[in-house]
């Protein structure tokens, strides 16, 4: 079963049949167009399954429970096999994160800064943020540190995928925010994009968000570390990540766009982030 699901997610050819209904996963990943034919139905009189699929937002791809299970299994296996398959990591996060996203939404709603984020629904990309202006800020500012992170690691805020499989508009916005602030968390925590840096960030995020995707990345990502990295991870980085995750303020409640000109060390102290260890 697992091998078939992995092939299904990898090449988009594995089909699942239910009441004679066949689903091609490539269609889920590539299109936002849905028809009434993609719904299964449940009639309590004769025991038939009924699950009307409703299109909730522009990028939403409605899925049944069965489809979500298959997507989560396949994407989870693919994510473990290749942590750099960001598309599979994204699918796994969306299809397994409902309960965690509900809790995150409540925690954001009960925080003044988090509530402002929920109300404003800010997006992070090259059209909403003047990246080059951040490069003119003082080296000690958070904005400059974020700019340096983007340039040094050759990444762009435009690379984050749109949420597709979260069946709640509120929670989809929380997931999108989590995804788009990930690089800012890297910059704030002083973590590079190598495997060790990613694992450290995933542990902090796992403790704070409880997203299964983050736990998966923290636990299984550590098994891919080089011997030298593993020693640094066990002795220094993991204890720091656990402390940071438990003791620092919820990083999802930080309105990063309004903190660009703030001294990065002051911001870290405000958020109770422990002194950052050396990463190699």
86 annotated ligand-binding residue: no
49 with 154, same domain? no
DSSP string, 9-20: HHHS--EEEETT
Which pLDDT tens digit goes with each residue over 119-175?
999 999 999 999 999 999 999 999 999 999 999 999 999 989 999 999 999 999 999
| Angle, helix 212-221 to helix 86-96, in steps of 10 degrees | 130
Which pLDDT tens digit goes with each residue over 218-264?
999 999 999 989 999 999 999 999 999 999 999 999 999 999 999 99
In a domain, 88, yes or no: no
67 with 101, same domain? no
18 with 147, same domain? no
**How many angstroms separate the Cα of 169 from the Cα of each of 56, 104, 105, 257?**
7, 14, 11, 22
55 with 159, same domain? no
The last residue of one of the domains, among 21, 40, 73, is 73
**How many angstroms separate the Cα of 122 from the Cα of each of 28, 57, 190, 255?**
26, 16, 23, 9
169 with 261, same domain? yes
53 with 109, same domain? no
120 with 179, same domain? yes
62 with 115, same domain? no
158 annotated ligand-binding residue: no
31 with 149, same domain? no
107 with 65, same domain? no
246 annotated ligand-binding residue: no
* Six-digit token string for 219: 């636990």
- Mean of all residue pLDDT scores within the chain: 85
Which of 115, 118, 87, 80 has the alpha carbon at shortest distance from 212? 80
107 with 32, same domain? no
Which pLDDT tens digit goes with each residue over 159-195?
899 999 999 999 999 999 999 999 999 999 999 999 9
Which pLDDT tens digit goes with each residue over 39-79?
444 444 444 444 557 889 999 999 999 999 999 999 999 98
Q: Is the pTM of this model over 0.85?
A: no
DSSP string, 154-172: T--GGGPPPP-S-S-HHHH
CA angle 206–212–216, rounded 5-degree value: 80
60 annotated ligand-binding residue: no
**How many angstroms separate the Cα of 216 from the Cα of each of 2, 12, 278?**
17, 23, 24
In a domain, 57, yes or no: yes
Q: What pLDDT, on the 0 to 100 scale, is given for residue 280?
A: 63
15 with 123, same domain? no
Q: What pLDDT, on the 0 to 100 scale, is given for residue 84?
A: 79
In a domain, 87, yes or no: no
What is the count of structural domains for the chain?
2
Domain holding 28, by residue range, is 2-73
């Amino acid at each position: 079963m697992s091998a078939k699901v992995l092939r299904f997610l990898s090449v988009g050819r594995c089909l699942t049949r239910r009441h004679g209904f066949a689903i091609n996963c490539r269609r889920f990943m590539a299109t936002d167009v849905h028809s009434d034919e993609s719904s299964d139905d449940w009639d309590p009189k004769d025991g038939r399954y009924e699950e009307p699929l409703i299109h909730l937002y522009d990028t939403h791809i409605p899925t049944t429970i069965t489809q979500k299970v298959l997507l989560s299994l396949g994407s989870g296996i693919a994510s473990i096999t290749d942590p750099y398959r960001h598309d599979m990591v994204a699918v796994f996060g969306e299809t397994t994160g409902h309960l965690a996203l509900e809790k995150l939404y409540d925690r954001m709603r009960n925080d003044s800064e988090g509530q402002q984020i929920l109300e404003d629904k800010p997006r992070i990309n090259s059209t909403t943020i003047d990246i080059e202006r951040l490069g003119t800020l003082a080296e000690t500012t958070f904005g400059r540190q974020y700019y340096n992170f983007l340039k040094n690691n050759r990444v762009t805020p435009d690379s984050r995928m749109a949420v597709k499989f979260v069946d709640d508009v509120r929670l989809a916005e929380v997931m999108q925010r989590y995804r788009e602030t990930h690089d800012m968390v890297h910059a704030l925590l002083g973590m590079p994009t190598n495997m060790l840096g990613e694992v450290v960030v995933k542990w902090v995020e796992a403790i704070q968000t409880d997203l299964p995707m983050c736990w998966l990345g923290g636990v299984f990502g550590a098994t891919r570390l080089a011997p030298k990295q593993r020693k640094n991870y066990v002795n220094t980085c993991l204890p720091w990540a656990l402390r940071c995750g438990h003791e620092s303020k919820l990083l999802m409640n930080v309105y990063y766009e309004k903190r660009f000109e703030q001294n990065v060390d002051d911001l870290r102290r405000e958020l109770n982030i422990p002194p950052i260890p050396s990463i190699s």
